[in-house]
Structure 1
Amino acid sequence: MKLVILVNSLLLVAISAPVAQEKAAAQFKLVEFHMALLKRGPQWTDKKTPQRREILTRHLAYFTGLLDSGKAVIGGPLTDESEIRGLYVLRAKSAGEARQWADADPAVKSGYFSVEMHPWWSEEVMKKAASPMKMTTAYIGFLSRGAKWTPEKTPQTEELQKAHRANINKLAETKKLVVAGPFGDNGQLRGIFVFKVGSLDEAKELAATDPSVQAGRLSIDIHPWLVPDGILP
């Protein structure tokens, strides 16, 4: 299955040295995207004021323009009360260009949102949004370094990584895990899973089967995510 191959190649990119990353990217036609995480900014408010409505209307129009132009491949709000309020994934020539696009978002310029940028690897698996656009709920999981994370490679971590990959393949075969990919900046955030399932509880149950999560090497934080219908594979 395509996602199974993709996931294994993405994991290789995530754990390899820079030269190996470049070879893996060439072999599996991986693309470096740039993910903009939108968080509460200094002018954030949850009060339903005319000013807030205007900012969010302009923000939505800006994101729709990014999507229509091909600069963004997917995006949308997280609908719970997490620190991250939304995100979009940009196809840019450089991190600087992606940052410029994110900073030009009216909600970022106004201080309503702040933006945190991360390089993110994936294959070209996103499709065109349905027209007219309507939103659907997916579930996005952010994989982070867990309490038992270590940077060293040992026989134990190698075995755990194999089990982690095998479980991803198993989830992909159910067609419930539809996107998986690593962040490229070697920070606290390690990667994402995107699930197409019926509920948050189901997404959490699937994520909890990951051996690296069970062992505490990784932790995962899952959120409902509104995205344009038709984009996810």
Structure 2
Amino acid sequence: MSEDIKPEGPGGDRLRESAAESAALRHFRRVALIAARAVLFLFFAPAVVILIYAVVPPPVTPLMLIRAVEGHGLSKDWVPLTQISPHLQRAVIAAEDGKFCLHGGFDWQAVDSAIERRRQGGRVVGASTISMQTAKNLFLWPARTYFRKGGEAYITVWLETLLSKRRILELYLNVIEFGPGLYGAEAAARHYFKVSAADLSPSQAAQLASVLPSPLNWRPSPGGRAGTIEVRARSVQLGSDGPC
């Protein structure tokens, strides 16, 4: 003889609803905790890596890997700033960021000029400082997107906060692209002029600095932009221990 199953009633329904709400709340808390940890990681990860790069040369950069996959090869040789010709230090500052020693990572006057050119329908060029280029080369990819520029600006703040101008320039001159598969002053000097980075002449330094806007397409040559850079570089003042 079968027994009738009696409904649990309103009390049982409330218990099930309460258990479901508790499970949903626990799931939300887990998701929120994971998201918070991810945000904290993204916030502090660049700072941690930059602190490492304050004393250790970067082993490789995203751009180096991208270019290697594209078939350009990879030639680099880290040297300290003391083994990079002051002529090249002056030349890249004159060519890429004349206010490098004065700003905190951003040349706001250049940014305003770039925005104005953009409003007038022109191409945005000339607002990227050496610090910003270093941030891009160490951590990011070469594509021009607002997302990448935002990341570049964020990392630049950390660079300028944690590193000296001397170290920023040292990193820049060792990872910047000087030609297909050529990274850093030493590799470029030996490839183009058969000398060490320490022995670059003013003319050779200016020629190397002149290719930086388009290293895959331009090659060092006397005269033209290189001549202008050489003239400008004479006015850049460097202390006995380097820039600024």
How high is the TM-score relative to the length of structure 2?
A: 0.23
How high is the TM-score relative to the length of structure 1?
A: 0.24
Larger Rg: 2
- Compare the two structures and name the one with the higher helix fraction: 2
